[in-house]
Chains A and B, each alone.
Chain A
């Protein structure tokens, strides 16, 4: 059971280049998320997808786009990379909670992205 798989694990880009980060989950979860993690900081939500066919902005969506390709896959695209987007990017997925319950998010191991 792989859980949440992110590719690539590492990437170096030049300013202005574009790139798509891939995320796939095999847990049949409805909700998927993209976060970034900067040194000394917690995770900040970029975009999320509550269910297949829907996407919504999080705290820090500027400079990013997302695609919920199907129930398993949720990709994050940087159209024109900037040094401020150097970060570790995490994808997560979650089952929908039942009434008054909590379902934790399950995270991948991240993509470490450096933009020169």
Chain B
């Protein structure tokens, strides 16, 4: 079935470097794409969303890029900090499924001091 997935299960970056977390999607009936951050022992925390008719959106130290041609979503974190270490999930909201969210399997980001 169609799903949201991630290219890399684990990403290790040096503190201060920029991080890029990637996500591929297959469903064409999604109106929003969302990134969540999950720290160990905690629930997912909303980071940023992007509407399907946009290709870029910026937040505080984060940027989400959406390439609908190749069905690819990425989350860029600038100047990665130790507090950014977590699992990051992409999700999409399905217009053809009562607007429910479908989550990918997650990428673990490790920040080296």
Contacts and interface: CB of A to CB of B under 8 A. Distances in A.
Nearest to B91: A42
Interface size class of B (residues with CB under 8 A): 20 to 34
Given A102-B49, A104-B49, A42 B104 contact: yes
A87 to B, nearest CB: 14
B51 A107 contact: no
A105 B46 contact: yes
A40 B105 contact: yes
User: What does DSSP make chain B's interface, helix, strand, loop or mixed?
Assistant: strand
A56 B45 contact: no
Contacts of A44: 103
A110 B39 CA distance: 12
Interface in B81-111: 89, 91, 93, 98, 100-106
B45 A107 contact: yes
B44 A43 contact: yes
B64 interface: no
Contacts of B106: 40-42
3 nearest A-B residue pairs (beta carbon) = A42-B103, A107-B43, A104-B46
Given A102-B51, A104-B34, A104-B49, A45 B100 contact: yes
A105 B41 contact: no
A42 B100 contact: no
Contact of B44 (A48, A58, A107): A107
Interface string A20-47: 0000000000000000000011111100
